[in-house]
Amino acid sequence: MAKKPDRAANSPGSSPAPPELPERWSVQRKQEIVLRLLRGEPLDQVSRETQVPAHDLEQWQRRFLEAGQRGLRTKADPEERELTLAKAKLGELMMRLELAEVLIEKRGLLDEWKRSRR
C-alpha cells in the first residue's frame, strides 16, 4: 500500500499533517477503535479519522462483540466439552503407553515387544 503524500509539505500554512496511519492495524488498535464506537462515537466520524471503511469497522465491532459473548459463557459448547474430554482421554492413554513401555523395557522385553508391533 503506497503512502499518501503529506499535505503539509505541498501547501505552506496548512494545518499539520494527520498522524501516519498503519497499513495493518494491531489487535490493540482495533480494540481501541471498536471501544470508541461502543462508547457512542459516530461510525462515519471514526471511519473518516482512521481512514478505515465503515464496513470494516462494523465487522471489527461485530467480531469483538461475538468474542465477548463467548468469553462470558459459563458453560462450554457441547463440541468444546467433547474436545476437552477427548484431550483428557488422549493424555491418559499416552501416559499409560509411556508407563507400559518403561515396564516392558525394565523387564527386558523391549525387543520382543517392538517386533510384535510390526
Q: Is 118 helix (H, G, I), strand (E, B) or coil?
A: coil
Asked if 61 and 34 touch (Cβ cutoff 8 Å), the reply is yes
Residue ranges of domains in the chain: 24-74, 77-118
pLDDT tens for 60-81 read 999 888 887 676 666 667 888 8
The share of the chain scoring above pLDDT 70, in percent, equals: 74
Residue with the bigger pLDDT between 10 and 55: it is 55
Q: How far apart are CA 108 and CA 59, in angstroms?
A: 62
Torsion angle of C-alpha atoms 65, 66, 71, 76, degrees rounded to 10: 160
CB atoms < 10 A from the CB of 92, how many?
10
